[in-house]
Amino acid sequence: MIKVTLIGSGNVAQHLFSAFNKSTAVEIVQVFSRRKETVSNLIPFDKITDSFEDLAEADAYIIAVSDDAIAEVSAQLSFKNRLVVHTSGSASMENLNDDNRKGVFYPLQTFTKGKEVDFKSIPICIESQFSEDYNVLKRIADSISDKVFTINSGQRRALHVAAVFVNNFTNHLYKIGSDICQEHQVPFEILQPLIRETAAKILSLSPNEAQTGPAKRNDQTTIEAHLDFLSDENHKNIYKLLTQSIQDNGTKL
Amino acid sequence: MIKVTLIGSGNVAQHLFSAFNKSTAVEIVQVFSRRKETVSNLIPFDKITDSFEDLAEADAYIIAVSDDAIAEVSAQLSFKNRLVVHTSGSASMENLNDDNRKGVFYPLQTFTKGKEVDFKSIPICIESQFSEDYNVLKRIADSISDKVFTINSGQRRALHVAAVFVNNFTNHLYKIGSDICQEHQVPFEILQPLIRETAAKILSLSPNEAQTGPAKRNDQTTIEAHLDFLSDENHKNIYKLLTQSIQDNGTKL
């Protein structure tokens, strides 16, 4: 069994904990949490520590904390020359303290508190400072996911920016759709099958092939009618910019 | 059995045809197609017509053609005072010719040629000029879908605009995500589980509750780093506008 210690008790740490708990290849040695009670429902109390001095030996230490805490937390580790990785999409591997061997273990998914996810289908992007550590990370990742990718820091940054577009910004478009429905007394649930199918479609078609709508077919009459219909200036601006972007994309092909 | 005639042979017409074909409450009397061969694989040849004069009697005529052809097609019908509906989200019911009783039968979904859809879960929005026609439309819709909604023209327009945001614009964000991946040699498939989960999440959370990311948490350092990373001016502008919109939304709460 590979011995893993989790540092952190937030959303990502808790989801990783559940996944490792089901894995037969990984043993969770300890969980570090400043507030022990947040993980006490997950793990026997004697395996939780709130002291960096108490961290036992492990094959890998996975720091699952917010981006701006990574440097500070990794600097507080009292040992040297062990494998220490973070789970962030945007933080550089270099944010980790130089005393230990560095790596990244980035599960690319949006985690919701309390909502089970099927880790097998979650891509895990791994990177290591030293090639001899790569295999350890690979074995840990393989034990919980069927989709493990070797991704360097530059690629990971690209993925993280792309993820902002397909997750954060997409969700904001859902919000605008929901606002428009609410303003006109239409139940937002009517749009949910469309939202699901829009996401499902790009499993078989490229986003370029899947594009439909007034912007794509240069239907200026409908575009004008929609802009006229929208009462919110911000919604109008977003409608215009994205319509223009779809149209420019069409002419570039 | 309710007798239905389909006018049109495009994507929506073909998907409606397959759905009605499985229904035990609806009988397809005829399909009108200017190019008979486009539907000859779906229906016996003697039920296809390309002449408006040949249209037999039916309880409802469903015009599934492009928005700008609805007025012209409905004007060419040679009978009077029958129930004639269109399937468009954006065209007004009034686009239909006055000679017949008007209605709308709008399945709110994105249809892909050749890709089967489960019609049972597709919302159908119905509207009728006369209340006595409402029940006919309701029975037709109920026979293929579990989600039938009574939606007036104003609400339908709102739904259609909202659908542009959650479908057309969302798909364009997928396209941008895919472009960013391609530019940095990362397989786009890594983002697909995230895309699916983003869509699935709003079945249990409102889009407002589901919002995460640097804009939501006012993480200006990450936002600046992302803008710096993006090489395409258009991508930068979309990033800025949507980030601003998420942040303004946060302050309004």
Question: Interhelix angle for A153-163 vs B220-229, to 10°?
Answer: 110
> Computed over its alpha carbons, how large is the radius of gyration of chain A?
22
Nearest chain A CA: its distance from B56 CA (Å): 33
The full 3-state SS of chain A, as one line of letters, equals CEEEEEECCCHHHHHHHHHHHHCCCEEEEEEECCCHHHCCCCCCHHHEECCHHHCCCCCEEEECCCHHHHHHHHHCCCCCCCEEEECCCCCCHHHCCCCCEEEEEEECCCCCCCCCCCHHHCCEEEEECCHHHHHHHHHHHHCCCCCEEECCHHHHHHHHHHHHHHHHHHHHHHHHHHHHHHHCCCCHHHHHHHHHHHHHHCCCCCHHHHCCCCCCCCCHHHHHHHHHHCCCHHHHHHHHHHHHHHHHHHHHC
3-class state of residue B105 by DSSP: strand
- The fold for domain B2-151 equals Rossmann fold (3.40.50)
Q: Is A169 on the interface with B (CB under 8 A)?
A: yes
Q: pLDDT tens string for chain A (253 positions)?
A: 999 999 999 889 999 999 999 999 999 999 999 888 878 887 888 899 999 999 999 999 999 999 989 999 999 999 999 999 999 998 999 999 999 999 999 999 988 777 778 899 999 999 999 999 999 999 999 999 999 999 999 999 999 999 999 999 999 999 999 999 999 999 999 999 999 999 999 999 999 999 999 999 999 999 999 999 999 999 999 999 999 999 998 665 4
DSSP per residue, B156-177: HHHHHHHHIIIIIIHHHHHHHH
- Where does CATH 1.10.1040.20 sit in chain A? 156-252
Q: What is the pTM of this model?
A: 0.91
Q: Is B71 on the interface with A (CB under 8 A)?
A: no
Residues 6+ apart with CB under 8 A from A28: A4, A5, A6, A17, A20, A21, A43, A47
Name the E strands within B64-153.
83-86, 101-107, 124-128, 148-150
Instruction: Please judge whether B237 and A239 are an interchain contact, meaning their C-beta atoms are less than 8 angstroms apart.
Output: no
CA–chain centroid gap for B117, Å, is: 12
ipTM over cut 0.95: no
Q: Is B177 on the interface with A (CB under 8 A)?
A: yes
Name the amino acid, one letter, at B23. S
Q: Which residue of A has its CA nearest to B250?
A: A172
Instruction: Please judge whether B210 and A171 are an interchain contact, meaning their C-beta atoms are less than 8 angstroms apart.
Output: yes
For residues A76 and B42, which has the higher predicted lDDT (pLDDT)? A76
> Computed over its alpha carbons, how large is the radius of gyration of chain B?
22
Of A67, A165, A230, the CB nearest to B177: A165
Residue positions counted in chain B? 253
3-class state of residue B184 by DSSP: coil
CATH number of B156-252: 1.10.1040.20
Q: What is the pLDDT of residues B93-124, one digit of tens each?
A: 999 999 999 999 999 998 877 777 889 999 99
Instruction: Please judge whether A158 and B229 are an interchain contact, meaning their C-beta atoms are less than 8 angstroms apart.
Output: yes
- Where does CATH 3.40.50.720 sit in chain A? 2-151
